Amino acid sequence: MKIAHVRLGAITTLALLSLIACSSSNKTADSATVVDATTIATTDVSTNLAETSTTVATEPTFAATLGTPITGYADPVDIAVRQGITLQSFTSQSYIVERAGKIYELASDGRKGTEVLDISDLTIAQGEQGLLGLAFAPDGSGAYVNYTNLAGDTVIA
């Protein structure tokens, strides 16, 4: 029973200290604070910020360049990369998902490539609905699409 009182006192003390620490008052503790029946010694932990200095680089340490943005897509919502690794070769293809229900392969020059999927008859691009995403299996052997059907229900296929 005595252990329960000690634990209750400790929990109460911690709760009160948390409330005091989170209060909006700008006052700081001078030397000691009395909470409940337990005395907790506090020390002044003020730090002189003028003595502390940090050097921050103002120029990047790498050459930053801007590429040409991809163009020709209507309401693109996702880009997915299909990867396949074999002993003979490594291939990587990127696909752009349009909310209206179409997926296109991204051409190497950044323009709209070949259409690879059209489910526009299964979805409506309205609000937060439409074809919303594309993901590939880690080995690139399968693809999964996330879309809302005509009733507004989410479908993963």
What is the tens place of the pLDDT at every residue in 15-25? 655 555 555 55
147 C-beta neighbours (distance < 10 Å), count: 23
Query: Which amino acid is present at 134?
Result: L
Gyration radius from the chain CA atoms: 30
The terminus-to-terminus CA distance of the chain in angstroms comes to 60
Break the chain into its structural domains and give their ranges. Answer: 2-51, 76-156
Mean pLDDT in runs of 10 for the chain (157 residues)?
53 59 53 53 57 67 77 90 68 88 88 93 95 92 95 97
SS3 call for 50: helix
The answer to whether 97 touches 80, Cβ cutoff 8 Å, is: yes
Strands (E), the chain: 32-35, 38-41, 76-85, 90-98, 102-106, 112-118, 131-136, 143-148, 154-156
